[in-house]
Amino acid sequence: MHNKVDSLPVRSDPPTRPISRHRSTSFVHRVKESLTTRVSKVICAIFLSLLLCLGIIFFILWISLRPHRPRVHIRGFSISGLSQSDGFETSHISFKVTAHNPNTNVGVYYDSMQGSVYYKEKRVGSTKLTHPSYQGPKNTSWIDGALRGSTMAVNKDRWMEIERDRNQGKIVFRLEVVSVIRFKVYTWHSKSHKMYANCYIEVGWDGMLLSGTKDKRCPVYFT
C-alpha cells in the first residue's frame, strides 16, 4: 500500500524576484531630491534672515542719520522812524533769528545766507547775513540782520501804507531767510540744498515786535 502522505503533491515557494536596478536608482534619486530640497530651504531661510537683519540695521541707521532740516525762530524785529512822515528816508530795520541744528550726528554747512523783508509781498529790502560757516550737531546760531540806506526800498507811498497799518494797531511783515546748505554725516557731505524760512512778523505802533510773534518758529522748506 502506498502511503497517502507520500501521494500528496509537494508545494514549492514561488521564486523571489530580484529588485530591479531601475527601482533602486529611482529610490536613490528621490532621496537625493529630498536632501537637496531641504538644503535649499535651509539656505533660503538663512539668506532671508540675514536680509531681514540687514534691513533692520539699515533702517535704524537711516533713522539715526537721516538729516532733519534746521529750525529757524524769529527772536527780534524793529523798524525805526514810524512816527515821522518822512521816516522812510532815514528809517532802518533790524532783526534777529536763530537757526538750530536738531540733528544728533549730522552737521550743517551754511554756504550762504540772505535775508529779505517784505511788506504786502513787496520787498522792502534785502541784505547778506552770514559768511560761510559750519554748525555742529545740536547747536544754535544767532543771526543778526539790518536794512538801511541802499538796502532799503521804501518810497513815500509805501511808507504811508505802513503808517496807516500802524495807526490801526499793527504792521505785518514777512522775513524770508534764504540759505544754501549742505549736510555732513561723519566724512560724507551731501549736495547743496536751497533752504527757505518764512517768518511772519507783527510790529506794534512803536515799531517793536509784538509778543504774539516773538520766538515763533518759521516754516522751512527746500527747493
Q: Is the same domain home to 47 and 149?
A: no
d(CA 72, CA 74): 7
Model pLDDT, residue 89: 79
Q: Residue 116: count other Cβ atoms within 10 Å of its Cβ.
A: 17
Domain boundary among 30, 65, 100: 65
What residues does 87 pair with on adjacent strands? none
Both 99 and 160 in one domain: the answer is yes
Torsion on CA atoms 79, 85, 88, 91, rounded to nearest 10: -40
CATH code at position 93 = 2.60.40
Q: Are residues 47 and 127 in the same domain?
A: no
* 150 shares a domain with 101: yes
Q: Are residues 87 and 163 in the same domain?
A: yes
Domain annotation covers residue 190: yes
Question: Do 111 and 210 share a structural domain?
Answer: yes
pLDDT, one tens digit per residue, over 76-97 is: 999 998 878 777 778 899 999 9
- Give yes or no: residues 78 and 61 share one domain: no
38 shares a domain with 87: no
4 domain residue, yes or no: no
In a domain, 6, yes or no: no
* DSSP 8-state code for residue 10: P
Say whether pLDDT at 31 is over 90.
Answer: no
Cell numbers given for 29? 534619486
3-state secondary structure of 95: strand
Count of structural domains within the chain: 2
Same domain, 91 and 59: no
* pLDDT per position as a tens digit, 135-162: 999 999 999 999 987 778 888 888 899 9
**Taking residues 196-209, what's their average pLDDT?**
95
Q: Supply the range of the domain harboring residue 170.
A: 71-222
Please list, in sequence order, all residues whose beta carbon lies within 8 angstroms of the beta carbon of residue 97, skipping any fewer than 6 positions away.
72, 73, 74, 75, 115, 142, 143, 145, 175, 177, 197, 199, 218
- Distance between CA atoms of residues 202 and 90, nearest Å: 21
Residue linked to cell 521804501: 154
pLDDT at 162: 92
**In a shared domain, residues 82 and 192:** yes
Arithmetic mean of pLDDT, 109-126: 95
**Residue 68 DSSP label:** P
Same-domain check for residues 177 and 131: yes
> Region 174-179: what's the mean pLDDT?
97
59 and 135 part of one domain: no
Domain termination residue (choose one: 65, 93, 118): 65
Q: What is the pLDDT of residue 12?
A: 56
Among left, alpha and beta (phi > 0; psi -120 to 50; other), residue 120 is left
Alpha carbon distance 55, 24 (integer Å): 47
